[in-house]
Amino acid sequence: MIDQGAEAIITIKGNTVIKQRIPKTYRISEIDTRLRKLRTRSEAKLLQKAQGIAPQVLDVNEQTMSITMEYLKGALFKDVFDTLSTSQRKHYLHELGKKIGHLHDKDIVHGDLTTSNMLVTKDGLKIIDFGLGSVSKKFEDKAVDLHLLQQALHSKHYTHSAEGFLQVLEGYKTSQGHVAVLKQLEKVEKRGRHKQKGVVF
Ligand SMILES: Nc1ncnc2c1ncn2[C@@H]1O[C@H](COP(=O)(O)OP(=O)(O)O)[C@@H](O)[C@H]1O
Ligand SMILES: [Mg+2]
């Protein structure tokens, strides 16, 4: 086992990773089973739809609530972010923006874009963990996806967050739908600032 999060345990077996959703004992058993089955199915579908950007899915088992996928050798973006050279960091952030743009053009909203869910591999930056993802055409959902990334950068990698997010946006501009999403992002950000003010005063 390499990781145990709130939802799943991650085990490496050879060149594969098995992500198994574990029961939550505080939930009513039937609801828990149904929810884990739905999330396993949904994550597997999104991973498949995100082919090339996410690990390849090798098997889905709705009985054991597990997804077997390709093991991606590399470092978590979170762990190397602050040690990369400026030009490397820029490169990966630009690539990240481009890849988020690809996902959004396919109407995939990731839902949890943090640097813990990104791996730097020899084949470039890969995005993992579609457990909170969804399929949506809405500019709003895509803008919120970007906004959450901006907040994650701000809280985990403060020193490089402002410059870093600009790089992400540059890469994102290669996507087909970027104009409408970035316009919506401005509204989402404004809303966020109003909310913050509300907390302060
Ligand atoms: N395909 C993979 N290849 C390599 N490491 C992985 C892979 N999938 C998950 N991991 C590792 O397991 C951790 C947790 O996986 P993740 O899918 O993010 O689960 P959780 O929903 O618990 O956050 C990741 O941060 C990463 O370190
Ligand atoms: Mg994760």
Which residue's structure tokens are 């500019």? Answer: 139
Identify the residue whose C-alpha is closest to ligand 1 atom 22.
5
Count of C-beta atoms within a 10 Å radius of residue 161: 16
Identify the residue whose C-alpha is closest to ligand 1 atom 13.
3
pLDDT (0 to 100) of residue 4: 83
> Strands 75-76 and 118-121: what pairing?
antiparallel
pLDDT along the chain (201 residues), means of 10: 84 96 91 95 98 98 96 97 96 98 98 98 98 97 98 95 97 98 97 73 49
Contact 113, 148 (CB under 8 A): yes
Which residue's structure tokens are 């809405």? Answer: 138
List every span in the chain annotated with CATH 3.30.200.20: 3-70
Q: What is the CATH number of domain 75-200?
A: 1.10.510.10
Q: Return the ligand 1 atom nearest residue 4 CA.
A: 22
Which residues carry out catalysis? 112
pLDDT (0 to 100) of residue 5: 78
pLDDT (0 to 100) of residue 1: 73
Q: Which two tokens stand for residue 107?
A: 């109407």
Q: Quick one: which of 123, 81, 127 has its CA closest to 100?
A: 127
pLDDT (0 to 100) of residue 200: 53
Contact 115, 153 (CB under 8 A): yes
pLDDT (0 to 100) of residue 96: 98
List every span in the chain annotated with CATH 1.10.510.10: 75-200
**How many angstroms separate the alpha carbon of residue 4 from the centre of ligand 1?**
9
pTM > 0.75? yes
Q: What is the CATH number of domain 3-70?
A: 3.30.200.20
Cα–Cα distance for residue pair 132/143, rounded to 1 Å: 16
H/E stretch holding 82 reads: none
